[in-house]
Amino acid sequence: MNITQLMHSRARIVPSLPTASFSVKAGFWRWQRLLPLLLVLALLLPLGVLLLYALQFDLERWTHMWNTFLPRALGNTLTLIVGVGVGTGLLGTGFAWLLTAYEFPGRAWFDRLMLLPLAIPGFIMGFVYVTIFEYAGPVQTALRGWFGWQRGDYWFPNIASPAGLILVLTLVLFPYVYMLARTAFREQLASSIEAARVMGYNRLHTFFRLVLPLAYPQIAAGIILAMLEAMTDYGTVSYFSYPTLSERIVVLWNTEFDPGTATQLALLMMVVALCLITLARRVRGHARFYQHGGQGRHMSRQALRGWARTGAVLACLTLFGASFVLPVSQLLLWAVGELQKPTVGILGESIITYSTNSVVLAGISALIVVFLSLLIVYGLRATAVHRNRGNRRLARMVTLGYAMPGAVVAAGVLVVVNPIDAAVTDFATAFLGWVSPAYLLTGTVIALIYAYVVRFMAVGFNSTDASLEKISPSMEGAARTMGAGTWRILRQIHAPLVSTGLATGVILVFVDVMKELPATLLLRPFGMDTLALRTYFLSVEGWHRSAAIPALMILIIGLIPVFILMRVGDNPIGKHRHTPE
């Protein structure tokens, strides 16, 4: 028996159940089928209406774009996503394996610390890195001072370059891959890894032949997440003056007032995204691996010795230093300088408001996203376990918002919400006695939260879906044969198993919303400036010291859920399945 057979046999351990037809009252089923579909439609509407714009195809405009910026913007986008994909894939997977399979001083600490960069928005990492390492920055200035160099006398990596941009985005996005890869590695049972090792495979072999293929879906999901984030990024690329499709869309929309072409460009970008996702799924194939319940153990860690130990510690220190310690220390330095100025008054008072706004927006959106994901995923699961692929595809479409730039999603939301806003507001006035010049939807946070939900649905949906997917249908089947009803299965089997996935979803969406720029810019009501917006405005004005304060607030607030995530990660999803020895 070779290792591939072993893999296949593992896949067969839990045969995919033939769809069992459980007879339950028809009315209940219909409700359960209809609600998710309605939700999916509501979430797709803002993207769907944009197709109307896309119909106004202007050949002349496209010819002009093709002859001017389009090829280069497309090239820039591809360079960026490939670079970020490779970078996050290598860093995320490599460090996840290092910190899961080996033991060395500080391992437990690094394991947690690697998640921290998640809380740093790309554009903040960008402006910190550029400010430190650019020609006029302290590092190069000091070098010139010490060695008496002039311009052109020396070579220094150019931070304000595509490579610098890829570095910066990789540093903020690798935790996505790390997190998912780590979970995947941890869930792999010691028994199969030990079996591979008994057959004479060393750790490295085991990693490439067994562990990596098994963890592939999660790693690929992480890389795609990172690539989509990079593709739709606006703040960082515009700070680096690196025109990508996403940046061009915002420019077309806002500067050239050409929503039609902007939307068509967004659709083009969506095609790129779909290609990515399909590609990843193709490679994965139709294999589904279920974790089987029972007496699994985590694999034991191999203690590193000698230079390997030193190397591992140094590698972790370098990555954590570059992705967290360096930017945070620089921000702290700036903030301290800023606080010593006598004029912090106005800024200081508003910082509390900005923080509250950010937290409330992020919190509400995160909970809505996960709640809706749960409804949709459950609806699908209840109607047919894996039978109705059509429904499943439709449901997967709610994740499309993640492949769209925030500005486009926001514009779609405006198109949907505007026509009904007046009516809704009149209704509120007539029946609730609420009189205000503000519209109920666009004048409050409702439209903005709608946009966040559409934009970040993928994050919550995937966490929810993934955690449910891992529950083998046999568990549900077993429970049903023992006479458990839907509600009981939900409460006693699903809830404990998926709560980690749900918490992860809430936290990831929360952190994403905290960092969001373009949709917030377009849709926020009066007085709802967020920390991210404030940081962006100030950093564009070149006021790094002032920008450092809201930037640090984002970090501090973002770190709280990331800390929770770390604790969640410490009790992996298998908590209830893997009985401790």
By CB under 8 A, what part of segment 163-182 binds another protein? none
Q: What CA–CA distance (Å, rounded) separates 131 from 125?
A: 10
Residue 527 region by backbone torsions, left for phi larger than 0, else alpha for psi between -120 and 50, else beta: left
Segment 102 to 131, residues that bind another protein, using CB under 8 A: 131
Q: C-beta of 57: minimal distance to another protein in Å?
A: 19
Q: How many other CB atoms sit within 10 Å of the CB of residue 465?
A: 24
Q: C-beta of 240: minimal distance to another protein in Å?
A: 8
Segment 1 to 40, residues that bind another protein, using CB under 8 A: none
Q: C-beta of 183: minimal distance to another protein in Å?
A: 18
Among 6, 14, 360, 397, binds another protein (CB under 8 A): 360
What is each CA distance from 465 to 336, 392, 439, in whole angstroms? Answer: 44, 11, 35
Q: C-beta of 413: minimal distance to another protein in Å?
A: 10
- What H or E segment, with its residue span, contains residue 160? none
Q: C-beta of 81: minimal distance to another protein in Å?
A: 18
Is 82 one of the binding residues for another protein (CB under 8 A)?
A: no
Among 5, 23, 150, 202, binds another protein (CB under 8 A): 150
Q: Is-contact 74 249, C-beta < 8 A? A: no
In this complex, which beta carbon is closest to another protein, that of residue 54 or of residue 428? Answer: 428
Q: Which of 225, 234, 285 is nearest to 7 (CA)?
A: 285
Q: What is the DSSP string of 323-364?
A: IIIHHHHHHHHHHHHHHTSTT-HHHHHHHHHHHHHHHHHHHH
Q: C-beta of 574: minimal distance to another protein in Å?
A: 17
Q: C-beta of 227: minimal distance to another protein in Å?
A: 22
- Which DSSP state fits 103? E
Is 133 one of the binding residues for another protein (CB under 8 A)?
A: no
Which listed range, 27-35, 153-161, 219-227, 291-299, lies at the site for another protein (CB under 8 A)? 153-161
Segment 533 to 572, residues that bind another protein, using CB under 8 A: 533, 537-543, 546
Is 522 one of the binding residues for another protein (CB under 8 A)?
A: yes
Segment 433 to 452, residues that bind another protein, using CB under 8 A: 434-439, 442-445
Which listed range, 282-290, 314-322, 431-439, 478-486, lies at the site for another protein (CB under 8 A)? 431-439
Q: Is-contact 193 110, C-beta < 8 A? A: no
Segment 457 to 496, residues that bind another protein, using CB under 8 A: 495-496
Q: Which of 550, 122, 99 is nearest to 298 (CA)?
A: 99
Residue 15 region by backbone torsions, left for phi larger than 0, else alpha for psi between -120 and 50, else beta: beta
| Non-local CB neighbours of 373 within 8 Å, separated by 6+ positions | 457, 460, 461, 463, 464, 465, 505
Which listed range, 94-102, 172-180, 266-274, 355-363, lies at the site for another protein (CB under 8 A)? 355-363
Looking up tokens 């209406």 gives 49
Among 524, 552, 553, 573, binds another protein (CB under 8 A): 524
Segment 196 to 255, residues that bind another protein, using CB under 8 A: 238-239, 241, 243, 247, 250-251, 253-255
Among 5, 343, 483, 580, binds another protein (CB under 8 A): 343
Is 59 one of the binding residues for another protein (CB under 8 A)?
A: no
Q: C-beta of 515: minimal distance to another protein in Å?
A: 18
Phi and psi at 296, nearest 5°, equal -70, 155
Q: Is-contact 304 104, C-beta < 8 A? A: yes
Is 419 one of the binding residues for another protein (CB under 8 A)?
A: yes
